Structure formats: C-alpha cells, structure tokens
Amino acid sequence: MRRSVLWLLPLIGTCYGAQSALEPAGPAASRIAYWWWVMFILAVLVFAVVLVLLLLSLLRRRGDPTPDTAPPKTAWVRLVWIAGAIVPAVVLAILLGLNIRSEVLVAVAAKAPQLEIQVIGHRWWWEVYYPAQGFATANEIHIPAETPVKLLLTSQDVIHSFWVPQLEGKRDLIPGQTTELTLQADKEGIYRGQCAEYCGLQHALMALVVRAEAPERFQAWVSQQQKAAPTPEANTLAFEGQQVFQGSACVYCHTVRGTNASSRFGPDLTHLASRSYIGAGIRANTPANLQGWIVNSQAIKPGNKMPPMYLSVPELRALMAYLGTLK
Ligand code: CUA
C-alpha cells in the first residue's frame, strides 16, 4: 500500500519547474492557477464521495447472497437521481460560470498595455518584432517587468500556440489572422515557453524564453538591439568571417542589418550573440553548440529548414569569429 502511494510522488513532482502553471509569476497566470486549484479540490472531493459510495455498495452486497428482486424504494430512486444527475449538473454549471468569469477577467487587463510586440510562428521557431522600436529578434522576448505588454500573434505556415505557463494561458497563432495576448510579469525573471499546438515533426523543440527585466535594463537592451551590426576591422578574422557570411548561402535566409543579408526566411541574426539559446530554445548559445548547428543542424533538429553548411575549417573559424561580434 505504502509503495503504491510513493509511485504518485513523481506525478506531483512534474507539476513544478521552469514551465509550471502552478508557479504563476503574473496576474493572468495567478488567476488561472487559483481556478486550477479550485477545480482540482472539487474533483478530489467528488472522487472521494464516489469511492465511499462504491465501498458502501460493495459492503452492502456482501452480507446478502440472494438476488434483490424487490422493486427499488422511491427514496432510493430519488437519491440516485440527486447524486447521479442533479449534483454533477449543478457542480459543472457553477464551474462553467466561474470559468467564463475568469476568462473575462484574464482578457481585460487592469492597465492598458505599454508596448506592442509581434510574434510570428514558423516551423519551428518564433519571429519576434518590436514595430515601434524597429528591430527583430527570434525565440527570446524581452519585456519590462510589472508592465502589461500586448502580443500580436500570427503564423507563417500552420497553427502554433504560444504558451508561457508562468505568465499566461495559451493563445493560438493562426495563419492569416492576428490574435492578441496581454503578457505581464510581476517580477524580473526568465520564463520558459513552448509551442502548445502540434505543428509537425519538431513541435516539441519549438521553445522560447521571455525575459522580464527592470525598465532601465530593458531600455538598454532595446537601444543595443536597434543598432545595426558593426563592420569588423579589415584584416581581422571577424572581417574574413563577414566575407564568408556574405558569400555563402546564409544571406538567402537571414538578416544582419548593416550587411547585404536581409531575408526574413530564417531568424534575424543582427544580435545573435546577445541571445542565450539557439535552435528555438533547445541549445545554449555557446561557440561549440553554434558551430555544430551551422555545420549540420539536421542532426540536432531533423526537418528544420536550415541545410547543412559545407565550409572549410578556416572558413568556419572565421565565420564563428564574425558571429561572435554580433552582440
Ligand atoms: Cu509550433 Cu507546435
């Protein structure tokens, strides 16, 4: 008996961690977590009552081996109706009402959003635009803490779903439509998110992070992102790397502002070195991981749109030096 209870512990353990809706860090997520607990406790109570009734009926039959052929008594029929139909209907109606009320409260933010960010879903990464500030990034969304931020969501290909459990509920990204979501973090921190709508082979590896920062730090980040990439000094390794970058297939898919690369097919790389992750939140942005990704990202995330790059060792070394300057 004790061992069977211990088996349940890992189940409880999975409720907590980096992507837990039960560790809310924003007003909307707090409301969702609150109602999660209300529903969970109600469900446990109903389950307990059903178990008790089941146990009682089992014990009742045990001492009575002859089949019960007498017609059921009216009081029993009434009890069965109340327990089996009326109580569940009332409980579900109350929960539905509370759920609708909660949805409305979540939809209406207390303060008007201070900032608008566009998020475009791709298989399998997130394009992130700051229209008023005039720059793009990918897979990492910086927001000021304690400030409501409006996200305008759409998709380039199939339906994706934006979900950062510690901050908000899910919202679908639908091709040809724009959906909205108000994001607010109560305190500074890094909040992991994940695509929550099956969108193909690498759906599970379509992650993102939201970084909520103090207003000054957020402003400093915006100012840095607004700058174009610097041109490396002539006769340096980074300069050679820029030549490799501009002379290879990289420019057909990526943008680096300040160079001839201006395609929006893949993530904007203007400030690649300022990001913590590559491949949509799946690998730390270290030189070793980045190099592996460039050489053959198909081995890391099969089916993604980046083809293997056939570069010589000196070319790759120069390219890495250049990408390292994109802070
Ligand atoms: Cu995008 Cu699942």
Kindly give the number of the ligand 1 atom that is closest to the alpha carbon of 199. Answer: 2
192 or 12, greater pLDDT: 192
> Which pLDDT does position 18 carry in this prediction?
78
- β-pair type (135-138, 125-130): antiparallel
Q: What share of the chain is helix, strand, coil (3-state, %, to 5)?
A: 40, 20, 40
Average pLDDT estimate for 179-190: 93
Between the CA of residue 207 and those of 72, 138, 141, 229, 275, what are the distances in Å?
Answer: 58, 11, 12, 26, 14
Choice among 16-20, 105-109, 159-163, 180-184 with the minimum mean pLDDT: 105-109
Ligand 1 center from residue 280 Cα (angstroms): 11
Asked if 160 and 198 count as a contact pair (C-beta separation under 8 A), the reply is: no
Residue bearing the CA closest to ligand 1, atom 1: 160
Pocket of ligand 1 (CB under 6 A): 121, 124, 160, 195, 197-199, 203, 206
Kindly give the number of the ligand 1 atom that is closest to the alpha carbon of 204. Answer: 2
Q: Which residues contact 131 (CB under 8 A, 6 or more apart)?
A: 116, 118
Kindly give the number of the ligand 1 atom that is closest to the alpha carbon of 123. Answer: 1
Ligand 1 center from residue 143 Cα (angstroms): 22
DSSP codes of every residue in 192-210: EEEE-S--STTGGG-EEEE
DSSP codes of every residue in 35-48: HHHHHHHHHHHHHH
Ligand 1 center from residue 282 Cα (angstroms): 14
Q: How many CA atoms lie within 13 A of 182 on its CB side?
A: 19
Between the CA of residue 15 and those of 8, 166, 293, what are the distances in Å?
Answer: 12, 12, 32
Residue 61: pLDDT over 70: no
Element (H, E) at 88: helix 87-107
56 or 238, greater pLDDT: 238
Kindly indicate the confidence band of residue 60, based on its pLDDT and cuts at 50, 70 and 90. Answer: confident
pLDDT in tens, 233-269: 989 999 999 999 999 999 999 999 999 898 999 999 9
Across the chain, what does the average pLDDT equal?
A: 88
Residue 2: pLDDT over 60: no
Average pLDDT estimate for 20-45: 89
pLDDT in tens, 189-242: 999 999 999 999 999 999 999 999 999 999 999 999 999 999 999 899 999 999
> Which pLDDT does position 232 carry in this prediction?
92
> Which pLDDT does position 53 carry in this prediction?
83
> Which pLDDT does position 68 carry in this prediction?
59
Average pLDDT estimate for 295-321: 93
Kindly give the number of the ligand 1 atom that is closest to the alpha carbon of 158. Answer: 1
Average pLDDT estimate for 147-153: 94
Asked if 125 and 138 count as a contact pair (C-beta separation under 8 A), the reply is: yes
